[in-house]
Amino acid sequence: MPANPLSAKGLATPYQLVATDAAMGPCHEANANQSAFVEAAIITQGGKVTLYDPLVIDQGTQPAAPTVPANVPAGSAVGIWFGFNGTNLTLKSANGTNSLGQGNCVNGMGASIFGQFAYCNAPAFFQQANNKIAAKALVVPPTGTAKDGLPCPTTRDFSLVDQDQSDNVVTHYLANGNGQIAQMNAANMAKLGGNAVDLANGSDNLLLNKFVDPALGCTPFTVPDQSSDNQPSGSLPLDELSAAANQQAPIALVPLNDPMTLNNANQDATKTNLYRVGVDQKKIGQGGDNGSGANYCNNLFGSQMGIARVFKDQALFQNAPSVDAAMATNLFTFLGMRANQSFTNLGCQNLIHKPNPIALAMNGNNVVTNAVMVTLGKTPPNLGTTAAGGANGTTSTATPTPKPSATKSGHPKKVHW
């Protein structure tokens, strides 16, 4: 991390990606499975919010283009959030600096890191933002009504959340053919040309803003992004402010069984609270919420406002593009796969003593082609395997559900998103 990361100079100074275990080979930001992302939000004393996407480059390299200067007016509060397409992202101060202390950064609890997620100065940003909202100096727009007649979902909606909600960011970068990285803006796209690669973070926030909202006819909360021609953009902090203002019951808050907040595979209220304050959520015990994993599982899989909404809206989501065509054929099958995995990774079967209500069909290439959901407590049918490239049908033996790999902390990491 660069020195003084909350300052204008610090925001415009690239972060450097480096492998922590040289024996396993180097890390490369241009490798989509290893890319790390940084997202900052700046709120002025008057309540104006803008975004800035600090750049990440390989250690020892130079950016593909100079970074855009950042503007941080006096009295502003700056928050920074991190996302990672790999497994464990650890923040480290640049040599000779105290970047982590200067940024009030939280990577987890001591040696027990969150995994793909971290933040700097987030509580101070949210405090100033919430003060401005209360004073009506900052207005959070309503989410509106979706095509299915229900409120548009937020990052605290049980129809959207998964095994680790409110994680990762909306930031995009550009990579040239030499693996050098640049911020996403018109000048850099012109400079790098048509061969530039768009690097994106597999995040709940990007999933909501770029896939689920359009499918449901909804619009995310956006503000200008300084690093991207001041074009309107969503972000993790904006999504959380919107969720706090708009989400109706049942409200999903980071539970004690979230794999990112486990400590040596055990539930830990202190670590869970550290995560929560980084995404503008009340601590466990406040507002009548006790962080119960069983309640979370029941709301996610047993409520009509949970993942059942995705299956109710199957036709809407089937007509939307897949987040990753190598994993699922369309947005519906992707969301079904994601929910199926979440039941396992949250340990729901042991918490509520009911089987996974979602079954998947996959083709010979292990691409999810169909999903069904039954009432919680019942066992779904075995859908089997479809012909490679097919959308439905039955053939041979069922293919095992794709499962995330384990992190070095012992908890499962969701498959990219």
Return the ∠ at Cα 133 (arms to 130 and 137), rounded to 5°: 130
Distance CA 338, CA 160 (A): 10
Cα 121 off chain centre by: 18
Extract the tokens encoding 279.
Answer: 């995404």
417: confidence class by pLDDT, cuts 50, 70, 90 = low
Which pTM was predicted?
0.92
Among candidates 119, 87, 158, 79, which has minimal Cα distance to 275? 119
Tell me the C-alpha to C-alpha distance, in Å, between residue 416 and each of 119, 203, 326: 19, 8, 12
Total residues belonging to the chain: 417
| pLDDT reading at 403 higher than 70 | no
157: confidence class by pLDDT, cuts 50, 70, 90 = very high
Q: Which residue is associated with the tokens 């890191």?
A: 113
Report pLDDT for 383.
86
Q: Which amino acid is at 40?
A: A
For the residues 141-169, what does the mean pLDDT come to? 97
Give the percent of the chain with pLDDT over 70.
Answer: 92
pLDDT digits (tens, 9 = 90+) for 170-214: 999 999 999 999 999 999 999 998 889 999 998 999 999 999 999
| pLDDT reading at 10 higher than 90 | yes
Count of H helices and E strands in the chain? 13, 16
Strand, helix or coil for residue 141: coil
Report pLDDT for 22.
83
